[in-house]
Amino acid sequence: MNPNLRYQFENASHASALLGSALLKPTHAPETRPLAPAPVSPAASAPYPKTPGVRLDDIKTRIHQEILALMDWQRMESMPPDRLRTELKTLTEELIATHKLALNETERRLIIQSIQDEMLGLGPIESLLSDPTVSDILVNGPFQVYAERRGKIEHTDVQFDNDAHLLRVIDRIVSRIGRRVDEMSPMVDARLPDGSRVNAVIAPLAMDGPLLSIRRFAVVPFSVHDLISMNTLTAGMAELINGVVRARLNVLVSGGTGSGKTTLLNVMSASIPGDERIITIEDAAELQLQQPHVVRMETRPPNIEGKGEISQRDLLRNSLRMRPDRIIMGEVRGGEVLDMLQAMNTGHDGSMTTIHANSPRDALTRLEHMLGMAGLKAESRALRQQIAAALSVVIQVSRLSDGQRKITSLQEITGIEGDVISMQEIFRFEQTGLNPDGGVQGHFVATGIRPKFMQRLVTRGIVLSDNLFEPTQRWS
């Protein structure tokens, strides 16, 4: 527990009535003064309210502060989480009884849960983190918390007490992985123990209170069957993608923010044989590969003096000395694309990465611009030749207007004609309209084109369904 979160209180006289809890300071031990006690507001030190209609949040805050004053921190830090949760429940119930608070069973349970979440979790947003339907949590200051469910963002009734309360939660998140956020470093990327990605921005950059964004990931990674059942792709498309991965073709997954690029990359990686050595490189570790031989690497931001940064490009160059069979890069966004394409062209077949783009053609244009950012001075045709030689397949994923996520296009790169990279579409999603509820209507279509890479699949013993590419194929 961060000592800076400890409080001093004058109303700690209830300790003698609560000595049954293993969390309390022993009576024979002198109380240690907190290292940096926070000032107690008049509201916090005021008597417990007796009037009906008082906000439960006020009661919770005061009980929480009194627990902080009474607790034995060394005992707490050495206690198993389940035992600690039980002790907090007991101590909260004792304080409610000591102050003779008139609470019904529901209110009592809510206060106990809030105290446990505050002490052991991330406070008010803990309920959202435990909700499997929530994919994103967006905190715009202490009093505006939004959640995304099934692709739609909605306002919640979750609130923090104030800016300081939200800052404590942010500090708790980033300190777990050895990072910091303050006026000198007001932006930070981090992750939760379950792998969820976190971004926080504080003053002076955030004008209306600290900002916190959490991109959640499933505890159990999605399988291809899950994506088929959610109508993200068809069984035929899944069959082709499985063959593409097994045949060690290089794949680029393109899509907008929140479209499901990382989820698809996870699902695709399940087709990689278990005897291959896979190296993953990410800004924030999100991939959840299930193979036995996976080496995960994550970038490091610069320190307060602007030194010590380790970029994706640094990690990629180092990974080439680590004997990888495949390299999976979470996302290319800069100069590392040059090293990635060179790796794909020099024996690291079957590598995969993602990129932010709205169409397969836009994705290739972005790659070309990134090669320029990498300092590669060459004519446009030479850059496009390198892209066409490195990549075989581009998969476009999109989040539709109703929140559904779908593979909207699967295209093969066939080479370069003149100064243009040539592509042919194998599958696409055709939107036909909206239903009365605003849901997107449409179907997946096979274009009838048989990809040129099929010969590579055949030579590797990968057999696909005979009618997979028939243009009459349509799937709702």
Calculate ∠ Cα 133-139-141, nearest 5°.
160
Percent of the chain at pLDDT exceeding 70:
85
- Residue 322: both structure tokens together: 């680590």
**Residue 33: what pLDDT?**
38
| Top-confidence residue, 32 or 138 | 138
SS3 percent helix, strand, coil of the chain, rounded to 5, is 35, 20, 45
- pLDDT band, residue 180 (cuts 50/70/90): confident
What does the pLDDT average to over 431-440? 90
What does the pLDDT average to over 49-62? 62
**Residue 264: what pLDDT?**
94
CATH of 224-475, one of 3.30.390.30, 3.50.50.60, 3.40.50.10470, 3.40.50.300: 3.40.50.300
| Top-confidence residue, 182 or 376 | 182
**Residue 308: what pLDDT?**
87
**Residue 476: what pLDDT?**
56
What does the pLDDT average to over 384-402? 94
- For residue 13, pLDDT over 60 is answered with no
**Residue 472: what pLDDT?**
66
- For residue 468, pLDDT over 50 is answered with yes
What does the pLDDT average to over 46-64? 61
| Mean per-residue pLDDT of the chain | 83
- pLDDT band, residue 19 (cuts 50/70/90): very low
CATH architecture of 126-215: 2-Layer Sandwich (3.30)
**Residue 141: what pLDDT?**
95
Question: Could you tell me the sign of the dihedral formed by the alpha carbons of 433, 434, 435, 439, in that order?
Answer: positive
| Top-confidence residue, 440 or 95 | 440
pLDDT in tens, 225-235: 999 999 999 99
pLDDT in tens, 109-134: 888 888 888 777 788 898 899 898 89
Domain ranges in the chain with CATH number 3.30.450.370? 126-215
User: How far is it, in rounded angstroms, from Cα 421 to Cα 384?
Assistant: 6
- For residue 8, pLDDT over 60 is answered with no
What does 99-118 look like in DSSP terms, one character per residue? TT----HHHHHHHHHHHHHH
**Residue 130: what pLDDT?**
87
Percent of the chain at pLDDT exceeding 90:
47
Please state which of the ranges 11-25, 71-85, 198-212, 307-321 shows the lowest mean pLDDT: 11-25
- For residue 46, pLDDT over 90 is answered with no
- Residue 476: both structure tokens together: 């709702």
What does the pLDDT average to over 361-379? 87
Please state which of the ranges 64-78, 219-233, 284-298 shows the lowest mean pLDDT: 64-78
Q: Sheet containing 251-255: give its strands across.
A: 294-298, 278-282, 326-329, 352-356, 251-255, 393-399, 405-417, 420-434, 440-446, 474-475
Domain ranges in the chain with CATH number 3.40.50.300? 224-475
Please state which of the ranges 23-27, 302-306, 393-397 shows the lowest mean pLDDT: 23-27
**Residue 35: what pLDDT?**
31
Please state which of the ranges 61-70, 152-161, 320-329, 390-399 shows the lowest mean pLDDT: 61-70
Q: Which residues pair with 148 in a beta bridge?
A: 136, 153
C-alpha gyration radius of the chain = 27
